């Protein structure tokens, strides 16, 4: 028997988990081993009490391996986990809108003097001016609701204005279009790559490459992890999803594995871990960070948003905020009249919490201390 009990493989650790200096994060490793075994952790003898053991370890790299070894007359056993050090972590938040294309259709159709003369971007700029918020808008190439618009229609007339506001307003890939649902759940990497590049090239044309941020979520947050390479080649370092519950399963090597929905086919234990206390997880197999968000403004009204913020753990540094663009527009069949008020309330509460607005795909969920 040999088990590390207080941290799991892939845990992302901060100053809240130990003692942090400029050079290291010192943490305490706890676990279980057979009572008569001699136990070391990264080569250092551990303290023992019955089956329990503990030892201090210093993390000095972004990615760190921790190896517990137990030796007794029945043999030698080792267990290695990989953890990430979120060095100099601080309170921060990111905000993204999924399913975006209506605002670009408005710009194309109305031809305003400024992109901020339109309802949607005008309101976002007011929120930014008030709370220093940053917004990532995840794009569809085609508008499946109006059937008369694609990103190829967006004029280049506003490129200079997009460039001038790139510090707080960024665009990214989401999917070729809204329908069919779950477009990449079973697609191959070539399809995902082609759709990404189609949107990226249009954004470069009408806004410039400086206004494009690598994707952190694809439509429905579903694709085979083997397709992560396609996104990583295009700059993706992290992925977020809803992990809304295990309602699907897959058969793998003759046994059934329960997996999450809206969660990139990960197993249930990953979803449960991520959804407790704003945790992040580093998947060493695919070299990618996973996370989830505390709210979605088209699901949570203002009262619910306040209750969510009130219950946030004091040691939760990363606050993920999101919603879907279409609920802001009166001609959408599920229009929510106070949708952008909810967005503003979430940004207000994040600012009151002391969260610095960041781009989620930068560094470790916006923390660039290792760069």
Residue 339 CB coordination number (10 Å):
22
Stated pTM of the model:
0.94
Domains of the chain, earliest start first = 2-85 (2.60.40.10), 92-357 (3.20.20.370)
Give me the residues paired with residue 30 across strands: 54
**Cα-trace Rg, the chain:** 23
Alpha carbon distance 79, 85 (integer Å):
19
Alpha carbon distance 138, 94 (integer Å):
13
What value does the mean pLDDT of the chain take? Answer: 95
Phi, psi of 37 (to 5 degrees): -80, 145
- For 188-212, the three-class secondary structure string (H helix, E strand, C coil) is CHHHHHHHHHHHHHHHHHHCCHHHE
Helix (H) or strand (E) holding 125: helix 119-131
In the numeric block, which tokens belong to residue 40?
């070391």
Show the beta-strand stretches assigned E in 222-352.
238-241, 248-252, 255-259, 281-283, 288-292, 295-296, 318-324
Segment 142-162, tens digit of pLDDT: 999 999 999 999 999 999 999
Segment 57-104, tens digit of pLDDT: 999 999 999 999 999 999 999 999 999 999 999 999 999 999 999 999
């Amino acid at each position: 028997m040999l088990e590390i009990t207080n941290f799991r493989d892939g845990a992302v650790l901060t100053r809240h988990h130990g003692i942090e200096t400029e050079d290291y994060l010192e943490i305490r490793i706890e676990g279980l081993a057979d009572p008569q075994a001699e136990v070391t952790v990264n080569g250092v003898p551990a303290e023992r009490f019955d089956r329990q053991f503990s030892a201090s370890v210093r993390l000095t790299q972004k990615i760190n391996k921790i190896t517990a070894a137990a030796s007794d007359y029945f043999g030698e056993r080792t267990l290695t986990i990989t953890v990430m050090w979120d060095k100099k972590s601080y309170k921060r938040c990111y905000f993204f809108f999924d399913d975006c294309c209506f605002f670009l259709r408005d710009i194309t159709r109305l031809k305003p003097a400024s992109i901020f003369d339109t309802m949607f971007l005008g309101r976002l700029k007011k929120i930014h001016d008030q709370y220093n918020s940053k917004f990532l808008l995840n794009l569809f190439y085609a508008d499946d609701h109006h059937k008369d618009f694609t990103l190829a229609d967006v004029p280049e007339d506003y490129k200079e204005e997009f460039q001038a506001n790139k510090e707080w307003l960024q665009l990214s890939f989401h999917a070729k279009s809204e329908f069919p649902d779950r477009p990449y759940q079973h697609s191959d990497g070539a399809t995902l790559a082609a759709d990404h590049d189609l949107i990226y090239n249009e954004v470069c044309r009408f806004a410039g490459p400086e206004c494009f941020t690598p994707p952190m979520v694809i439509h429905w947050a579903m694709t085979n992890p083997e397709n992560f390479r396609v996104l990583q080649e295009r700059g993706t370092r992290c992925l977020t999803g809803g992990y809304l519950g295990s309602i699907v399963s897959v058969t793998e090597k003759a046994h059934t594995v329960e997996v999450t929905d809206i969660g990139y086919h990960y197993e249930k234990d990953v979803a449960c871990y991520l959804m407790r206390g704003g945790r992040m997880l580093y998947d060493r197999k695919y070299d990618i960070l996973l996370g989830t968000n505390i709210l979605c403004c088209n699901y949570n009204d203002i009262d619910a948003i306040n209750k969510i913020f009130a219950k946030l753990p004091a040691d939760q540094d990363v606050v993920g905020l999101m919603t879907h663009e279409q609920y802001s527009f009166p001609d959408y069949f599920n229009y929510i009249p106070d949708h952008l008020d909810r967005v503003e309330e979430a940004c207000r509460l994040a600012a009151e919490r002391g969260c610095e607005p960041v781009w989620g795909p930068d560094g470790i969920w916006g923390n660039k201390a290792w760069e």
